[in-house]
Structure 1
Amino acid sequence: MSGDSMNDEEDKICLNLVVSKSKKIVCYAEAGEDFVNLLFSFLTLPLGFIVKNMKNSSLKGCIRHLYQTIQDLDGQYMISDHHKEMLLDPKLVPGFCYYNSLLGIEETSYYYVGRTLTTDRSLCSSESDKLKVVGFCSMDLNAQGFLKRPAMFVVTDNLVVRPMSRIFELQVLTDLNVHVTDIEDQIVHVGKKEVLRLLLASFLCESALTNTFVGDLGKPKQEQ
């Protein structure tokens, strides 16, 4: 996965995992709006960005072959190198970027060339008076994503999100056949590497939190 090389000083999201000690699974997470915003942002991502960041991993299907075909296709068959890059490394449409995203995806920039809007900067003149940028991250930098206000949420292992509720938490434990005496809290810090793992897990399995945070020895990965 991309993101293996991380900046130790990058902003990370604190997440409280409720783990079954006997089953070695994440029952649910107690999360703030910052983590839920990241989960919701998964729905805005272009498919090409997801496939690119999976590297040698694969969805259950042949989409990887389609991506590889574009990589290998001779440039004479594409309109331009820019159009090839649009497919291999797509960006978000303006308005879907928000300030605290850890995914590392950029927002598309639009340029006004003549009487035409384009995302291909190579078509622009080097003279600044002939270039007008009408794109870039258009949302307020103080905005916190998709949610109205700070709040706490319960996120299940299969990424069902509900407002914080003890009744819902108990229902999750009941459905998993996990007794309250068998759970413990584990604090993890979520950076770019963890977010990309979670994105991949959300496409490959029904236990996204467990597959992202629980290691081979059954202990959630923890950073102090």
Structure 2
Amino acid sequence: MATRKVTLKLLINKKTKKVLFAEAGKDFVDFLFTLLSFPLGTVIKLLSKNKMVGCLGNLYESIEELSDTFFQPNLGKATVLNPKLPSRPSEGGFVKGVITYMVMDNLEVKPMSTITSITMLNKFNIQEVGALEEKVIELGVDEVAHLSVFWTEVRS
């Protein structure tokens, strides 16, 4: 079975090796917006406890180890560890597909336009376009599951 991949175009400052922004399509932006609809317990389980930032992985593990006898009747730890996912929007997803989006390194999403791009170049104090390079990357399931780690690696 083939794994679906999402393509991003990164605009990188060659001097600082910093990703200024990524040009992304509907699939990637819909994925980012879907992350906000996941219950936290599901996110922790997807990322795995040992890769969680801070103590959320420890919290998850302590709930796993806690006996169901300590939970309220009719609830149990499965209610916390395996919360039900909210219903997703129909096949259309969250955003329109005819638009290209700009995703910043902090995951801020904006519609892409010439004016927005020029504004971003000014914000990053880019004096010459030759200092920029485009890098096309593909994200699969593994990269998307570890998005924050991946984004940091691309920036370095």
TM-score range, shorter chain: 0.7 to 0.9
1:19–1:196 CA distance, 2 compared to 1 (3 A): same
Q: Structure 1-normalised TM-score?
A: 0.60
* Aligned pairs (5 A) from 1:41-190: 41-52=34-45, 53-60=47-54, 62-78=55-71, 83-93=76-86, 95-96=87-88, 139=90, 143-179=91-127, 180-190=129-139
1:185 alignment partner, SS class? strand
CA drift of 1:90 comes to 2.6
Number of residue pairs matched by the alignment? 154
1:51 alignment partner, SS class? helix
Q: Which residue type is aligned with residue 133 of structure 2?
A: E
CA drift of 1:66 comes to 2.4
After alignment, is 39-48 or 72-81 more displaced?
Answer: 72-81
Rounded Cα–Cα distance in structure 1 between residues aligned with 2:49 and 2:98: 35
Larger radius of gyration: 1
Runs of 4+ in 1 over 4 A off after TM superposition: 79-82
Rounded Cα–Cα distance in structure 1 between residues aligned with 2:48 and 2:13: 29
Unaligned runs of 5+ in 1: 1-6, 99-138, 202-207, 219-224
CA drift of 1:31 comes to 1.0
More relative contact order, 1 or 2 (CA 8 Å, 6+ apart) = 2
Q: Structure 2-normalised TM-score?
A: 0.83
Rounded Cα–Cα distance in structure 1 between residues aligned with 2:59 and 2:49: 14
Task: Among all aligned residue pairs of Structure 1 and Structure 2, give the percentage whose two residues are the same amino acid.
Answer: 34
CA drift of 1:212 comes to 5.1
CA drift of 1:81 comes to 9.8
CA drift of 1:55 comes to 2.4
After alignment, is 64-73 or 23-32 more displaced?
Answer: 64-73
Unaligned runs of 5+ in 2: none
Rounded Cα–Cα distance in structure 2 between residues aligned with 1:47 and 1:187: 31
1:56 alignment partner, SS class? helix
